[in-house]
Chains A and B, each alone.
Chain A
Amino acid sequence: GAVVSQHPSRVICKSGTSVKIECRSLDFQATTMFWYRQFPKKSLMLMATSNEGSKATYEQGVEKDKFLINHASLTLSTLTVTSAHPEDSSFYICSARVRAPRETQYFGPGTRLLVL
């Protein structure tokens, strides 16, 4: 099956710093990638839809200036958490949309962010 990687898998940073998370589709091209956030024992929450070559579409309540998304190529999307605060600590998961042979999403392994 299709493989999606995320880097880093775990990051600890100080409050006020910025953190970049990479999401790569390793053996296929993905024009659309999604970024999710999951708090402990909660459901996945869609943050934004990342489309290659165009601006990301953010969900209501997600600050686009705080969570910068760049989808510069068909295999890479990045999420940058700017001026991170402790409340941004969460599990961030990306997924890549696949249309053939059947529509689905393949998820990356996730990035655990801890802001001190």
Chain B
Amino acid sequence: GQNIDQPTEMTATEGAIVQINCTYQTSGFNGLFWYQQHAGEAPTFLSYNVLDGLEEKGRFSSFLSRSKGYSYLLLKELQMKDSASYLCAVRHSGAGSYQLTFGKGTKLSVIP
């Protein structure tokens, strides 16, 4: 089966940097996604890592270590609008197709 762990909640200050960690155990690993989900809305795509290393995209960066089963999402220069849930999702092969299994999400609260 698939197992994905990430912290339930985090709080950070506007303008600061926050790192959201995700650890996973899976078979047939084929990439890791980070999504942002505001309350009551569908998730939106943030990043995709399939190789080890850091991927930077503006204020958001994502890191992957496949050997450690570990990823993190780094948010810089936090803004109030960054308050949302951040979902770590692992893509894995199964039944002849690829599927995503989501972690429970980390609710980030950005405070002034």
Residues of A within 8 A of B (CB): 1, 32, 34, 42-46, 49, 51, 57, 91, 93, 97, 102-110, 112
What number of residue pairs across chains A and B have CB atoms under 8 A from each other? 52
CB within 8 Å for A46 and B99 given contacts A107-B44, A108-B42, A110-B42? yes
- B66-112 residues at the A interface, CB under 8 angstroms: 87, 89, 91, 95, 97-105
State which of A34, A51, A104, A110 has its C-beta within 8 Å of the C-beta of B99.
Answer: A34
Whether A34 contacts B44 in the complex (CB less than 8 A), given A103-B91, A104-B33, comes out as no
With a CB–CB cut-off of 8 A, which chain A residues contact B98? 97, 103
Binding site for A on B (CB under 8 A): 31, 33, 35, 40-45, 48, 87, 89, 91, 95, 97-105
Q: Check A102/B48 contact, CB under 8 A, given A43-B103, A44-B102, A109-B41.
A: yes
- Give 14 CB contacts A-B under 8 Å: A43-B87, A43-B103, A46-B101, A49-B95, A49-B97, A57-B97, A103-B31, A103-B91, A103-B98, A104-B33, A104-B45, A105-B33, A105-B100, A110-B41
- On chain B, the residues within 8 Å of A104 by CB distance are 33, 45, 48
**Chain A residues with CB below 8 A from B97, complex form:** 32, 49, 51, 57
The 8 closest A-B pairs by CB, nearest first: A107-B42, A43-B104, A110-B42, A44-B102, A43-B102, A93-B42, A109-B42, A107-B43
Interface SS, B side: strand
Most buried by B among A91, A107, A108: A107
